[in-house]
Every structure is written in C-alpha cells, then in structure tokens.
Amino acid sequence: MTAHSDPHPIADSVRLALPAEAAAIAAIQRRSWPERLPEPVSEQLLGQADLEQMAELWEQAISRPPQARYRVLVAIGNEQLVGFATTTPSPDTDAHPQTDGAIDEFVIDRPAQRQGHGSRLLNACADTLRADGFTHARWWLVSTDDITRRFLQEAGWAPDGAHREIGTEDGSHRIKQIRLHTDITES
C-alpha cells in the first residue's frame, strides 16, 4: 500500500529531528536565506556554505548537540520535512542561564507556509523549552520582518526593547535585529 492510499496517513506534526534528516534541514535553510536576508548577505552565505558541509553540521547538532538543552525540532507535513527550529539556552549576556531559553533558527519551507506548520512548530518550541526548565523565551528577529513579528505578536510575544546589529565578517553588510520575548510558564 502506498503512502497516498494509506487509510491512516501520518498527521502533520512536530518532533525532535533525526540525524538522517540533516541534509533536508540544510536544504530548507539554504532555500530560506534569499527570503529572510538581504540579497548581498544571502548571496555571500550561499557562496560560502556548501550543502554537504551544512548537512554535516546539522547532523552533529542533532546527534551531538553543543549543550544538553540544545534541541533541533522538525515540522512534518504530507509525510515529509517542511520546516525546522532550534531551541537553546539564551546566549544573551543579560539572560539568566537557568530560566531564559531561545529560539535560534525557525524556518518553514515556502511551499508549506500558511498551513499551520509554523504554529505547531512554535508551540512545540515553547513546550520543549518549558520541558528543559526555562520559564521565558527569546527570539532575535530581523527588524524589517513584519510577517514574522505579527505572527509572534499574535502568539503572545512582544519586543523587550533590546536590539543589535549583526553582519558579515568583513563588516560590509549589517542586519538590524530586535528581540522579542514571552513567558512560557503554564498558566
């Protein structure tokens, strides 16, 4: 019986990533850069980052994470990987290491957007951070990303006043970011 005629298809879901999914995660990440980053930055990243090397880094992050509370989650739709996110303790200097978690990467592949995968992935990130003992979550967002900001604000996130600039190693391109946060304790 094929997956299409299966009377019990796998529901759209979110779960921890498997090492074998590293290449799919890397491919989605590469496809997202031109949509999420200014053109000069995305072009430079695409020129520097080889898909195979990226897949190796993702496999390592999944199977041998840099910290015990570092997680890679994947969104599954139509029985295939359609997005991913990472959760970790917040690396910010003003963060409390035991209570402040962060969502570092969060990408839903363009063809799978607006189908509920982002909401499921966001909820799973909050659940994962909560299970790892965090009570607050942080997210650095490109200041011009109004779509993601609206999505997060509708889910209860708000700017906390922090901002920063990141950019290329040579300093030729800078990206302004704002930080959003939310309380993830159960109410």
Q: What was the pLDDT predicted at 34?
A: 79
Q: How confident is the model at residue 187 (pLDDT cuts 50, 70, 90)?
A: low
Residue 55 and residue 19: Cα distance in Å, rounded? Answer: 9
Q: How confident is the model at residue 86 (pLDDT cuts 50, 70, 90)?
A: very high
Q: How confident is the model at residue 156 (pLDDT cuts 50, 70, 90)?
A: very high
Nearest to 77 by CA among 106, 116, 105, 107: 116
DSSP code of residue 70: -
46, 38 contact by CB (below 8 A): no
Mean pLDDT over 51-79 rounds to: 93
- pLDDT tens digit sequence for 17-48: 999 999 999 999 988 877 877 776 777 777 77
Give the lowest-confidence range in 29-43, 64-78, 129-143, 153-167. 29-43
Which one is predicted more confidently, 165 or 15? 15
- pLDDT tens digit sequence for 106-144: 999 988 888 889 999 999 999 999 999 999 999 999 999
Q: What was the pLDDT predicted at 69?
A: 94
38, 45 contact by CB (below 8 A): no
Residue 58 pLDDT greater than 90, yes or no: yes
55, 26 contact by CB (below 8 A): yes
